[in-house]
Amino acid sequence: MRLIVTGGGTGGHTYPALTAVDALRSRLQEDGWGLEVLWIGSADSLESRVARDNGIAFEAVATGKIRRSANPVKLVSPANVRDMGNVPRGVAQAHRLVSAFSPHVVLATGGYVAVPVGLAAKMCRRRLVVHEQTVRLGLANRLLARAGAQMALSSASTLDLLPAQARGTAVVTGNPVRPQVLAGRADRAAGALGFEGHDPALPTVYVTGGAQGSVQINTVVAAALPWLLERANVVHQCGPANLEALRSAAGNLPGELARRYHLTGFVREELADVLALADAVVSRSGAGTIAELTALGKAAVLIPLASSAGDEQAHNARHLQQAGAAVALEGEVTAQRLQEALGPLLEDPRHREGMAARAREHGRPDAARNLVDMLLDGGVRHGSLSG
């Protein structure tokens, strides 16, 4: 089977694509088939590095990023005008690549690079499946939906946001989660981290701001640490640049509390075990994070990144809060507000378990399998792969 995958710019677009590729390859191998993949993206990008690190052929095309603004005058800024000129050049480059590779299906996972490749797929009359990771419909995916793509959605709430002609063929698949994240074991986490002071009689809170950490989350958690450590163990992934400052702040903690605080710049292979151990999570609310927390069924306090594109993180957090599946902290977040959000979760196991159960209702651990089913539909399976 031949697959073109496109999408990137951020991990939220890139990693679901990689997870889908891995799941599709595994499914085909079970049936004795192989998979040939071409990833089309931006040069010197996250997706180019991910493709290279995973042995996937990669080609770059010109891309045009549209910088959105409520002010119509700013939409015709020099940067937007320049980038808009890249779009037809990118479409022409993508058309040549799609035509030469002749894929059975094209998978687009969003980001502005998906637009030229998606349009080229339709021009070449190749089936196009577009995956939307967020509750809201991204600008690139909205355009491709209007161009006749079949939409794979992470949430049923997105159905009403689709153009009318796209709703009939849309499928709610969920957002693919890396299988290793779902295979964690709580009993291995403390040992894997070297967390010698972990007290199994107390709940555990996992704090993360993503790979680089979040100054906002780190600052608020540092201010709340004495209160927090009286009630819980804390695993705090703060980002490498923030490690020394937080280590210095933690140096003032009483010894008994300090032992229950594990500070680290990165959480690597042990992430799945840490998530399995966590009774509550404090984090951003990007699409990938939401997919993992709901698939695992974790109670969470979500602090959206205010500068996320289209305010997507705030929408994700509100969506779960309205369902009782998380607490969303927006605007000015203080240590007091964090304590008010976490307090009921740490003090009442039934409340915490109820939120976790509601989170699990929104989770789709089978999302990668569902997306693979879509990619293999339309005759692209078994004996018809020779087309």
DSSP string, 47-70: HHHHHHHTT-EEEE---------S
CATH of the domain at 278: 3.40.50.2000
pLDDT tens-digit profile of 234-288? 999 999 999 999 999 899 899 999 999 999 999 989 999 999 999 999 999 999 9
How many domains does one find in the chain? Answer: 2
Q: Are 207 and 151 part of one and the same domain?
A: no
pTM here is 0.86
Q: Which residue has the tokens 């209007």?
A: 146
Cβ neighbours of 146 (radius 10 Å)? 12
* Eight-state DSSP code of residue 149: P
Residues 358 and 369 in one domain: no
The tokens for 29 are 């191998």
Same domain, 43 and 66: yes
- pLDDT the model gives residue 137: 86
Structural domain of 98: 2-176+365-386
User: With bands split at pLDDT 50, 70 and 90, how would you rate the model's confidence at 383?
Assistant: very low
Burial class (CB in 10 A: 0-12, 13-18, 19+), 34: exposed
Q: What is the mean pLDDT of residues 79-103?
A: 86
pLDDT band for position 73 (cuts 50, 70, 90): very low
Task: Tell me the pLDDT tens digit for each residue of 29-72.
Answer: 999 999 999 999 999 999 999 999 999 999 999 986 654 545 54
Same domain, 34 and 16: yes
Answer yes or no: do 98 and 226 share one domain.
no
State the Cα–Cα distance between residues 140 and 64, nearest whole angstrom: 11
Tens digits of residue pLDDT in 215-239: 999 999 999 999 999 999 999 999 9
pLDDT band at 320 (very low <50, low <70, confident <90, very high): very high
Looking at the structure, tell me whether residues 198 and 316 fall in a common domain: yes
Q: Is residue 193 located within the same domain as residue 97?
A: no
What does the block give as tokens for 283?
């984090």
| Same domain membership, residue 312 and residue 382 | no
Burial 49-86 (b: 16+ CB within 10 A, else e): ebbeeeebebbbbbbbbbeeeeeeeeeeeeebeebeeb
Q: Are 239 and 298 in a shared domain?
A: yes
Do 187 and 328 lie in one domain? The reply is yes
Q: Is residue 160 domain-shared with residue 193, that is, in the same domain?
A: no
Do 82 and 124 have their domain in common?
yes
* SS3 (DSSP) at 106: strand
